[in-house]
Amino acid sequence: MALVSDTKPDGEYVEDAHSYEDKAERSTFAQDPTESHLERKTKLKMDLFVLPLTLIVYFLASMGRSDLGNAQVAGMNKDLGITAAQYSNIGSLFYVGYLVFQLPSTLALRYLTPPVLVFLAMLLWGVATTCMTAATDYSSVAGLRFLIGVAEAGIQGMIFFLAIIYTPRELTKRLCFCYSGSALAGACNGLMAYGIVNNIAGRDGWTWQWIFLIEGVIPIGFSFIILVLYPSTPEKTRSIFFSADEKAFLIGRSRLAANTGEYKFRPKLFLSLFADPVFWLLTVMCIGGTFTIATLQNFLPAIIRGFGWSATTAQAMSVVPYAIAFVTTNFWAQLADRFNQRGFIIVANMLLAIVGFIVLLTVYDRVPSLIGCCVLVAGAYPATAIGIAYIPTLLPGRKFFYFPRVTNL
């Protein structure tokens, strides 16, 4: 997806974040009564149409990440002879593909458009997840997880799409709503794995294979819905989604944010991020939050089982922390947008996550340990989601486009 115009020199896009927000608030869209009505109408259409589709994509992608932990508890490692070290490598290989292919997949959005690229990504990871049912050893599982990571890298441009159509003061609660789909997916994975183990495990000799079959077929089917219904960038979106006035309004918003459909790769601006102290602060924040959440997605069911519960009970109990994360992420996002305050909220939730880590390290009884897991995710998910939404405010325009790419390096 192309995100910035080539009609101005780089320096004109590297503006102060507060100046950018103030400009958005003072724009003619907000001052003219007719266009104010147009703004409300267009935002309502985006909220009712774009956000649910984006949430479902993130929900299904997160299910594809966290299903490995549920399959492990359901007996995958034992059946395939996978050791603890090999299982850890499998979890890491997903993120190798995920990180390496984020930059090329995001650049490809310029030529493929969001609905086409997301369709291809969902189709590929759905097929690869389905193929996990036929895995026979460590090598086949590792290779398929790498492919799933490559495919899921293709959906990250959806974050940029939201930053195009929403201003920074509108973005936090909406992006966090979509991001909370990952917590909801973890909860649903636990429920589904619990139901599979207790009801259909053993049919055709399958147990953990049912998890991958179900979670592979669903993205394949939904990919075609995305191809038909998901809108493209404002410049390329079809008339079935927005009227001519609404399309012009969205284009105006994107240009106000220095995010338009004529993006050109600029190595100089890419490298300038390394000299920006804000970049390094955001990098540390995002790496810490993402590492915590990625670890939980791969190991939470096994961690809970280690507290002393059975495998089936651990699947069910993993629902609790994820459900709490879903609520806290949306709660804090609403406050962040309402009071236009993100920094203190991020720090408060990071401190809460640290408290959860301390509980897990110092307490050994299973109920207090489960509470520690709940405290950990209650802080880690909102801190990470709001931190991601904070990026376009602190690094608007082209710098925002390059930030996640450099962070991955």
Check residues 404 and 277 and name the one with the higher pLDDT. Answer: 277
DSSP state string for 219-261: HHHHHHHHHHH----TTT--TTTS-HHHHHHHHHHHHHTT--S
> Does 280 score more than 90 pLDDT?
no
Give residue 56's pLDDT.
Answer: 92
Separation CA 227–CA 57 (nearest Å):
12
pTM of the model as a whole: 0.78
- Residue 309, domain CATH: 1.20.1250.20
Sort residue 340 into left (φ over 0), alpha (ψ -120 to 50) or beta: left
Please report the sign of the dihedral spanned by the C-alpha atoms of residue 83, residue 88, residue 91, residue 94.
negative
Asked if the structure places residue 5 within a domain, the reply is: no
What is the reported pLDDT for 352? 94
Q: Residue 16 has what pLDDT? A: 40
Residue 360 domain flag: yes
Q: Is residue 170 part of a domain?
A: yes
pLDDT per position as a tens digit, 18-30:
444 444 444 433 4
Q: Does residue 137 form part of some domain?
A: yes
User: Average pLDDT for residues 266-275, to the nearest whole number?
Assistant: 71
* pLDDT of the residue at 26: 44
Distance CA 181, CA 326 (A): 7
Tell me what pLDDT residue 126 has.
Answer: 94
Residue 306 within a domain? yes
Provide the domain count of the chain.
1
Q: What is the pLDDT of residue 189?
A: 78
225 against 262, higher pLDDT: 225
CA angle, 129 then 132 then 134, to 5°:
140
Q: Is the pLDDT of residue 314 over 60?
A: yes
Q: Note whether residue 1 is domain-resident.
A: no
Rounded Cα distance, 371 and 174, in Å: 28
Q: What is the pLDDT of residues 76-129, one digit of tens each?
A: 998 999 998 999 899 889 888 888 888 788 777 777 888 898 999 999 999 999
Mean pLDDT score, 40-53? 86
Tell me, yes or no, whether 201 lies in a domain.
Answer: yes
Q: Is residue 323 part of a domain?
A: yes
Question: In the structure, what pLDDT confidence band is assigned to residue 313 with cuts at 50, 70 and 90?
Answer: confident
Structural domain for 296, as ranges: 10-408
